[in-house]
Amino acid sequence: MERLIQADGQPHYGIFKSAPKQVNYRDFDFRSPMGRRSGALAKWRRFHQFQYFGVISDELIGGCALANLSLVGIGFVYLFHPASGRLLQRQFKLPLGFGTVFSQTPDDGVCELIQGRNRLRLENCAATGEKRLLVELDDGLRIDARFSEREPAFQPMHICTPTAVNGWVYAQKVAGVRCRGQVRSALGNFDLAALNAFAHHDWSGGYMRPETHWNWACLSAQVGDVRVGLNLSCGVNETSFSENCFWLDGELLKVDGVRFQFDRDQPLHPWHIRSGDGQVELRFTGEGMHRERLNLGFLASNFKQIFGRFSGELRPLGRPVVPIDGIWGFVEDQYAKW
């Protein structure tokens, strides 16, 4: 698919085998809920885009995200050291996105935030299938991490769903891929390949609900002889189609709708995550959390990403059960108004 938005101004909807070469949102026939056509300013104001790169291992957990919310560019990065319980984290907010660059080509191009001597950079290369995270901060923290969707072969989730009365969301997700690279920080220096680290990746963009909420879960690990990845959500990307899935040795297996049960006031307490088709039965217990809160009235976010351990079972249809025993991963509780 060359472009996500068709000649009639409407997106391609569904789950795709490959990513569109361009998310050409400016060609979308964007209208008000009452059917009035919207101009270029409204298209710019309401289009939001995210990219996230996470790293999981027993010795080091990390995450970095960039977001283009039109009125503000946002970035964060954190590292968590399970053995010591130490957490390093930085957040950046740039009015009107000055100092940021966002590419609308999901499998190619660069998304970047620069503020002073701080750089967060996410590179996607169509020629090699490689995704790369580069972080350089003024306190000396440096992350250079990467993975390939081709070595070995991997089937990403590519999905586009309608949202509310006048929007859509395109997303592509990856989990359960080996990660390599280097980390230099106050927590120590790490070789990600030597840690047997895994990565996960999310590229999302579209006209999301003006006020929305979602939960999300992700894990990546080696379970016996099988590489396992998991991506589950509730509250977004669920109209007509769902992004819920897990991967076994890079093969994508779809999952029904999921229910997240947890105490919002105590997010480090156990979560229970179950799918309607019985393929997922998991318990998650948090070990640490990255949190951001922003309330400007017209723009608000209450974001909690918790890292911890999963236990339970994945029950792929017609296949042996995959036991999940103390595997590191993430859950998320997000409210957004934009």
DSSP letters, 165-233, are TTEEEEEEEEEEEE-EEEEEETTEEEETTTTT-EEEEEEEEE---SEEEEEEEEEEEEETTEEEEEEEE
pLDDT digits (tens, 9 = 90+) for 214-230: 999 999 999 999 999 99
CA distance 335 to 338: 10
CA distance 292 to 170: 24
pLDDT of residue 236: 86
CA distance 186 to 13: 45
CA distance 80 to 78: 7
Low-confidence ranges of the chain (pLDDT < 70): none
CA distance 190 to 119: 20
Distances (CA, A) of 226 to 9, 58, 195: 42, 17, 17
Q: Which domains, and CATH codes, for the chain?
A: 14-337 (2.40.370.10)
CA distance 57 to 79: 11
Q: Say if residues 312 and 324 touch (Cβ distance below 8 Å).
A: yes
Q: Scanning the structure block, which residue is given the tokens 């509730």?
A: 234
Q: Determine the length of the chain.
A: 338
Name, in order, each residue with C-beta under 8 angstroms of 28's C-beta and a sequence gap of 6 or more: 5, 9, 10, 11, 43, 168, 207
